[in-house]
Amino acid sequence: LELSIDLDFMAIPIVASDADLIARIVARDEGALASLYDRYGTLVFSVALHIVQDVAQAEEVTQDTFVKVWAQGAAWNGSRGKVTTWLITISRYTAIDRLRSEKRKASGDAVALDDILAVLGEEGPMDDPVWADVQILKDSLRDLPADQRQVLELAYFRDMSHTEMSDHLNVPLGTVKSRVRAGLNKLRGLWLERGVTDD
Amino acid sequence: MTDLNHIPFQNDDPDADDVLERALGKSGHALPQDAVARREIAQTVAGLAALGADVPQVKPSDALRAKVLGAAVKRSTPSVVPRNNAADSNRFIRVLGLAASVAAVILLASNVYFMNRLSELEGKQDAMMASMAHDADMMVAMIAEGQKTPLADDSGQERATVVWMAGAAQGMMITQDLPMLSPDLTYQLWLIGPDGVPVSAGTFSVDTDGTAHLMFDAGILVEGFNAFGISVEPMGGSEQPTTTPLAIGQRT
């Protein structure tokens, strides 16, 4: 058999969109999962490591996150949310869930991840293309006052309640709530500033 | 210009204090049914993702990639397309074995629960047998009447054959005498379009005798592709070939 095929095709790069990768994952394309990992594995691992503060556990969280993506990719609503937001939310939830288990902290009344992802897919400012870019996600924090960002980070990464933040920061509970409210309002305002429709 | 410090939440009631905790999944309250409140929480979840995106980026170990992909695929339900029928056969045998075990318990205990369980397993077995029979019919038809393209290595030795029915998007690849790979590697079949762009048709492993067959759905007519290739890729496959193809064939 004479081979006359140009092997240069191997050098042609293919850049699939995030939505394409999720669609292929739903169709059980292992290559798409590998591509998604190559694209966002570091982001997922970094979020997990920031929360659990342990490389081995962060690896397990990363693994669990992509297992959930592989198993539940069909639940992602591509017309609503961005994959980055989705992955960060799953990674953060999985890491916090692991910490709660270790602390023997009651989690039976916690909102299920599936519920959060469902509501995330129903509505959201992520409809706007600007939210596709991780860098723009970061930029949205640039103007957040330090005290407001601090309470949001304690809640987000350390799973602290308002009361726990009050004790940790040694400030009145009302002050913590005010900072949380102001910080969330600020984030919402930044979304509005970027032209996201709020009907 | 929006005053960023004075944008009230639309659902500005005492429950709004719980927005953060609800969005972070630690509230004792269920998520609200009200659309406005749900949107508020969705926006909070999305906005807080910015905190996650802003953490220092730390590259995980290279070994994690294979571990993650292996775990994901291992825990998933095998798909219909692309499908490695060698795996189906093993699962079929396992189900049969389990069914036999359950049947033995029934003989001893005449337990209604196990009767129901057996019935379920038999249903699964029937479905699986029907699926395998369908595949077998397709395979026979394709081999007997279908189009064929051999894939050969550099020395000209045939390593695989791609077969399909004219006018169909589904096809099958059968390998011959391919070596087994280490657990961190997999074979991947590529369909190469007229523009030279390879499209993955799925990954597969071979049995100890070097054989495997892979059913695939090209999405368009198989005739829409000019060539086929097989490469060795990291476990989980690749978005595009990362190694020189070990076998390739031009559609005849």
Task: Kindly state the average pLDDT of the residues B154-182.
Answer: 85
Closest C-alpha among B133, B200, B209 to residue B173: B200
| Facing residue for A45 by CB, picked from B9, B58, B82 | B58
Q: Supply the pLDDT for residue B110.
A: 45
Distance CA B106, CA B214 (A): 38
* Run of H or E including B128: helix B112-145
What number is the ipTM of this complex?
A: 0.75
- Give A43-78 pLDDT, tens digit per residue: 999 999 999 989 999 999 999 999 988 887 777 765
Are B213 and B139 in contact, with CB atoms under 8 Å apart? yes
Task: State the virtual CA torsion across A139, A140, A144, A148 in degrees, nearest 10.
Answer: -120
User: Distance of CA A38 to CAs A4, A91, B144, Å?
Assistant: 33, 16, 42
Question: Looking at the complex, does the CB of residue A79 fall below 8 Å from at least one CB of chain B?
Answer: no
When mean pLDDT is compared across A74-83, B173-182, B209-218, the lowest value belongs to A74-83
Per CB-CB distance under 8 Å, the chain A contacts of B17 are: 162, 177, 180-181
Distance CA B236, CA B222 (A): 24
User: Distance of CA A17 to CAs A44, A133, B65, Å?
Assistant: 18, 12, 20
Which is more confidently placed, A7 or B187? B187
Sign of the Cα pseudo-torsion (A76, A80, A85, A90, in order): negative
Q: A185 and B4: CB-CB below 8 Å?
A: yes
Which is more confidently placed, B107 or B214? B214
Give backbone dihedrals phi and psi of A144, rounded to 5 degrees, phi first: -75, 125
Q: Which of 27-46 (B) contact A at CB < 8 A?
A: 27-28, 30-31, 35, 38-39, 41-46
Q: Which of 131-170 (A) contact B at CB < 8 A?
A: 131, 134, 137-138, 140-141, 143, 149, 152-153, 155-157, 159, 161-162
All residue ranges of chain A with pLDDT < 50 are 1-13, 104-109, 123-132, 195-199
Whether the pTM exceeds 0.80: the reply is no
- CA B166 to chain centroid, in Å, comes to 26
Q: Which of A8, A9, A60 to mutate to test the interface with B (most CBs of B within 10 A)?
A: A9
